[in-house]
């Protein structure tokens, strides 16, 4: 019996079950009773589809060779995926961008004092892992988007290179002028590597080295690869140093797509490219430097890492020379966009996508996600073929150039921005995954809906996904955490105001990240052996896409947004050290509370509408959904955030100093953190306007819902 006939049997069974349950339909956010019933039938079909063996087969096929952005192999893998999507009945486009992309030249890093030691910038193959023998096409140790040139100077240890670390150095009177800063990866709040370099440069550093410390990413955490999942002394984390919190994507086309005819700015003018020579190294190599970085007192307690020596800040006596060449070219970036046209509101798009390009083979990051997403596509395709075409268009995508920092997705968002702002309902990001904890970052307006949906999805343990989620964090509320940056949702939420989600399982082998050792073989041991989590995730994402694409009324719930704002305002009071913002924060809180009232009212109106006869209801749905979508857009401000106008969304953004970690209410918060009270008040005014806009839109939606339900047009909508 083949998979197809199994699926057909299961589909028939699912339809029969749907009929049996027709008397007692469970409610489903945004659906009328009939709609919910139809949706459940579709989901029963879809759940039978995702298949571990097929996922493994695809996973194997696109992890055979290194496939960094711009490489021939990465183009071949794009064609492979496009063909797969086509075979499932999707309309597939391959969109190309020409992006200013560096590959490493002939780089050299050496200790020059007190002895001469040349550092190794390549990773040796591991006999236990034959995949790691594929070193052809594997870039050596490399920091993308950094300065070129020759520098030599004394070394200074800057801990994680967080803003608080640099500020401590400032207070201690440690100057970085003419020095080479060595920072370790990681630190909380989660810190992008480029920020470590940017802030060193601002303080006069002439070079920057970032390494993985064994305390954070190596033997201190557990056994190292291949014995365990943690980073071996020979492995390093390649990475882009692009200044994402300024703007992601092609550094030469901020705000515009890298297509023919679009003007490029001069590389020297690109604010997102780091200025000083920079490299990443392994801790095996870093130890050769740090053992001689012993001047002065021992570093502060929290600065001690896991290497067998007492960490010192220096400077020196260790001296280091760096020779960094960057081979910049306009290299091709290929996005694969697969669409399945909606039946009623076809211009409206629900999208799930992840990237395809990898630092080396990228079995976990990102290919695990790509393989799982193809099973999601197959599930949806199966349901559609059996008559369950959703009212809106579903898109699945394979981004390119994410690792160099969000190149493909950003250029896509910038190219199609006007349409996406108007028509994209939700963007879901599906990156790498592992057999670990479930989590969802995203907009609060989707929190209630996400919880409901995970109650209808299953976890490999046999529990519902929601129950497993609760069990894994018994002392924390289930909540959607605010999105920062570091993956392809950035252009959607931050630049366009498209509500975004990052649902998926985490876990896996953190210690092979961005290294030669992120292989198919490693994934079979430490990723998702048996692909059970991948199957669960494929099914869950299929349900999420299908519900969002099929709901009568889009399931946004804006009391949660108001509560989010109120919670964060409460938190901001702690930053109001001079008592300057008391009135301003109180005013914002009053506005958010007012918006909350309107949302309560709108929720009631929409429930009434969903329970009302289809005739009047269906007429208002397209316009109503437009209003419901509009509310999140109301929280964008075209003036953008201070220092970085590309960022338009006022409820969350990657921190200017963190990159990965989110700053909530970022305009107000970051101004307050730096005690710029006038700026904070100005930003608060922007936020206040946005809350007013949102409140107005919510009220319009409520009025329209009442109208559709035939309710008295004169009812209070306050």
Q: Which residues of this protein are in contact with its own copies, per CB under 8 A?
A: 214, 219-224, 227-228, 230, 294, 298, 304, 306-310
Q: Residue 131's closest CA among 397, 493, 450, 515?
A: 515
Q: Which is nearer to its own copies, 106 or 310 (CB)?
A: 310
Q: Which is nearer to its own copies, 92 or 307 (CB)?
A: 307
Identify whether the C-beta of residue 474 lies closer than 8 Å to the C-beta of residue 437: no
Closest CB 447 distance from its own copies, rounded Å: 31
Closest CB 525 distance from its own copies, rounded Å: 14
User: DSSP label at 26?
Assistant: P
Closest CB 308 distance from its own copies, rounded Å: 4
Q: Which is nearer to its own copies, 306 or 696 (CB)?
A: 306
Closest CB 307 distance from its own copies, rounded Å: 7
Identify whether the C-beta of residue 413 lies closer than 8 Å to the C-beta of residue 335: no
C-alpha angle 679/685/690, rounded to 5°? Answer: 130
Q: What share of the chain is helix, strand, coil (3-state, %, to 5)?
A: 40, 20, 40
What is the distance, to the nearest Å, from the Cα of residue 42 to the centroid of all Cα atoms in its chain?
29
Q: Which is nearer to its own copies, 149 or 222 (CB)?
A: 222
Q: Which is nearer to its own copies, 230 or 558 (CB)?
A: 230
Closest CB 353 distance from its own copies, rounded Å: 36
* Interatomic CA distance for residues 570 and 475, integer angstroms: 21
Closest CB 516 distance from its own copies, rounded Å: 21
User: DSSP label at 363?
Assistant: I
Q: Which is nearer to its own copies, 257 or 314 (CB)?
A: 314
* Interatomic CA distance for residues 25 and 40, integer angstroms: 9
Q: Which is nearer to its own copies, 261 or 308 (CB)?
A: 308
Q: Which is nearer to its own copies, 50 or 214 (CB)?
A: 214
* Interatomic CA distance for residues 336 and 355, integer angstroms: 10
Q: Which is nearer to its own copies, 202 or 227 (CB)?
A: 227
* Interatomic CA distance for residues 609 and 611, integer angstroms: 5
Assigned token pair, 671:
């101004």
Closest CB 609 distance from its own copies, rounded Å: 52
Burial of 562 (0-12, 13-18, 19+ CB in 10 A): buried
How many Cβ atoms are within 10 Å of 270's Cβ, its own excluded? Answer: 20
Closest CB 165 distance from its own copies, rounded Å: 19
* Interatomic CA distance for residues 75 and 249, integer angstroms: 19
Identify whether the C-beta of residue 124 lies closer than 8 Å to the C-beta of residue 236: no
Closest CB 673 distance from its own copies, rounded Å: 25
* Interatomic CA distance for residues 664 and 670, integer angstroms: 9
Q: Which is nearer to its own copies, 235 or 417 (CB)?
A: 235
* Interatomic CA distance for residues 151 and 180, integer angstroms: 8
* Interatomic CA distance for residues 694 and 592, integer angstroms: 10
Closest CB 294 distance from its own copies, rounded Å: 8
3-state secondary structure of 633: helix
| Cα-based torsion angle of the residue sequence 458, 560, 487, 547 in order, rounded to the nearest 10 degrees | 40
* Interatomic CA distance for residues 282 and 93, integer angstroms: 39
Closest CB 494 distance from its own copies, rounded Å: 35
* Interatomic CA distance for residues 72 and 74, integer angstroms: 5
Assigned token pair, 600:
């309560």
Q: Which is nearer to its own copies, 177 or 227 (CB)?
A: 227
């Amino acid at each position: 019996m083949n998979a197809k006939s199994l699926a057909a049997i299961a589909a028939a069974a699912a339809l029969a079950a749907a009929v049996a349950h027709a008397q007692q339909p469970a409610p489903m956010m945004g659906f009328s009773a009939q709609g919910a019933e139809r949706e459940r039938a579709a989901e029963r079909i879809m759940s039978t589809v995702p298949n571990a063996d097929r996922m493994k087969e695809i996973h194997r096929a696109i992890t055979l060779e290194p496939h960094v952005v711009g490489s021939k192999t990465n183009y071949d893998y794009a064609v492979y995926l496009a063909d797969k999507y086509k075979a499932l009945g999707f309309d597939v486009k391959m969109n190309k961008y020409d992006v200013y992309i560096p590959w490493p030249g002939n780089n050299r890093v050496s200790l020059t004092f007190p002895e001469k030691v040349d550092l190794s910038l390549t990773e040796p193959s591991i006999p236990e892992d034959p995949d790691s023998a594929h070193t052809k096409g594997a870039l050596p140790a490399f920091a993308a988007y950094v300065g070129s040139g020759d520098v030599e100077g004394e070394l200074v240890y800057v801990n994680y290179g967080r803003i608080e670390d640099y500020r401590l150095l400032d207070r201690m009177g440690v100057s970085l002028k003419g020095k080479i800063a060595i920072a370790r990866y990681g630190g909380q709040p989660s810190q992008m590597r480029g920020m470590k370099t940017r802030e060193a440069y601002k303080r006069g550093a002439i070079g920057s080295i970032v390494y993985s410390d064994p305390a954070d990413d190596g033997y201190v955490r557990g056994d190292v690869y291949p014995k365990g999942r943690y980073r071996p002394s020979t492995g390093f984390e390649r990475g882009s140093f692009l200044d994402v919190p300024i703007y992601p994507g092609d550094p030469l086309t901020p705000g515009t797509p890298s297509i023919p005819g679009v003007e490029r700015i001069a590389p020297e003018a690109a604010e997102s490219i780091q200025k000083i020579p920079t490299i990443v190294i392994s801790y095996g190599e870093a130890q050769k430097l740090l053992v001689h970085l012993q001047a002065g007192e021992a570093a502060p307690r929290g600065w001690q890492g896991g290497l067998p020596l007492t960490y010192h800040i220096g400077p020196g006596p260790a001296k280091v020379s760096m020779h960094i060449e960057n081979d910049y070219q306009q290299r091709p970036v290929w996005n694969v966009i697969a669409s399945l046209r909606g039946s009623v509101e076809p211009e409206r798009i629900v999208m799930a996508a992840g990237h395809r390009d990898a630092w080396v083979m990228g079995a976990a990051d990102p290919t695990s996600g790509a393989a799982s997403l193809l099973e999601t596509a197959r599930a949806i395709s199966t349901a559609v073929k059996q008559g369950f075409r959703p009212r809106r268009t579903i898109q699945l995508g394979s981004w390119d150039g994410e690792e160099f920092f969000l190149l493909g997705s950003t250029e896509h968002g910038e190219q199609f921005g006007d349409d996406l702002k108007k028509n994209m309902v939700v963007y879901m990001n599906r990156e790498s995954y592992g057999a670990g904890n479930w989590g969802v970052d995203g907009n609060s307006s989707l929190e209630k809906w996400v919880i409901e949906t995970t109650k209808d999805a299953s976890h490999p343990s046999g529990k519902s996904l929601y129950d497993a989620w609760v069990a894994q964090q018994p002392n924390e509320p289930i909540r959607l955490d605010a999105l920062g940056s570091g993956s392809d949702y950035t252009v959607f939420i931050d630049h366009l105001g498209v509500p975004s989600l990052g649902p998926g399982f985490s876990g896996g082998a953190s210690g092979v990240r961005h290294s030669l050792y992120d292989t198919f073989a490693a994934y079979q041991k430490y990723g998702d052996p048996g692909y059970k989590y991948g199957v669960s995730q494929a099914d869950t994402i299929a349900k999420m896409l299908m519900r969002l694409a099929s709901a009568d009324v889009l399931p946004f719930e804006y009391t949660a947004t108001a509560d989010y704002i109120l919670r964060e305002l409460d938190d901001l009071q702690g930053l109001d050290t001079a008592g300057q913002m008391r009135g301003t924060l109180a005013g914002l809180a009053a506005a958010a509370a007012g918006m909350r009232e309107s949302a309560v009212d709108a929720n009631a109106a929409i429930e009434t509408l969903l329970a009302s006869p289809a005739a009047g209801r269906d007429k208002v749905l397209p316009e109503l959904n437009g209003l419901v979508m509009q509310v999140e857009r109301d929280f964008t401000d075209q003036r953008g955030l201070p220092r970085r106008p590309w960022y338009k969304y006022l409820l969350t953004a990657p921190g200017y100093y963190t990159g990965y970690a989110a700053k909530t209410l970022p305009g107000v918060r970051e101004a307050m953190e730096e005690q710029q009270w006038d700026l904070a008040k100005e930003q608060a005014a922007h936020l206040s306007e946005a809350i007013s806009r949102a409140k107005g839109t919510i009220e319009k939606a409520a009025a329209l819902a009442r109208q559709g339900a035939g309710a008295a047009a004169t009812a209070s909508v306050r």
